[in-house]
Structure 1
């Protein structure tokens, strides 16, 4: 892996004040559709697609702990992206952080 591939490319996604605890929202970071989830004050970023049939996860439900795809009711742990139903599936996660200026930043990898 080259140094360029290892370097984080933090891109602005959303103001942290716009994503309350227990909420999820879809954003576009660069050209990537991302699902931001606030789990107990900790922000997580995932590819905004269910691994089953690529359905947009932001159209589903989030109860503060579990993300449920609206299409076939697949469930994922919001804190890890690990599947609950089915347990063999998982979401694609992206590194994210809240910068000093209060902006949620996401690294979606090489553009």
Structure 2
């Protein structure tokens, strides 16, 4: 699988238990650091497309600020409601920089 990796942000700017909204190419991306594991999701709640970066992250779950939908930060699966999921993107760290493939 060949991707188009693009720099999103420096790893040292995203501490464990933090999330950050960034723009990678044409996509708004939510980066999440769950106990040192990085995840990248489209920065939109599937309910009404509200930016998830404006919500809360308790270290394991992401909560949308608009209607309080909750998602598992490791998998992107819906917790409440449980019949939805976030769109994820591959991410990696290269030379201290978080890179995301939004292609």
Shared fold (TM-score greater than 0.5)? yes
2 CA distance for matches of 1:12 and 1:90?
25
TM-score, normalised with respect to structure 1: 0.91
Number of aligned positions between the proteins: 103
Cα deviation, residue 31, structure 1:
1.3
2:73 corresponding residue in structure 1: 78
Structure 1: unaligned runs, 5 residues or longer: 1-5
User: In the alignment, which residue of structure 1 is the partner of 2:101?
Assistant: 107
Q: Cα distance, 1:62 vs. partner? A: 0.1
Q: Higher strand proportion, which one? A: 2
**Equivalent residue, structure 2, for 1:10:** 5
Offset at residue 76 of structure 1 (A):
0.2
Aligned partner of residue 12 in structure 2, secondary structure: helix
1:49-68 matched pairs, under 5 angstroms: 49-68=44-63
Where does structure 2 lack aligned partners over 5 or more consecutive residues? none
TM superposition score normalised by structure 2: 0.98
Higher alpha-carbon Rg: 1
Structure 1 segments, 4+ long, off by >3 Å, are none
1:7, CA displacement in angstroms? 1.6
CA RMSD of aligned residues (A): 0.6
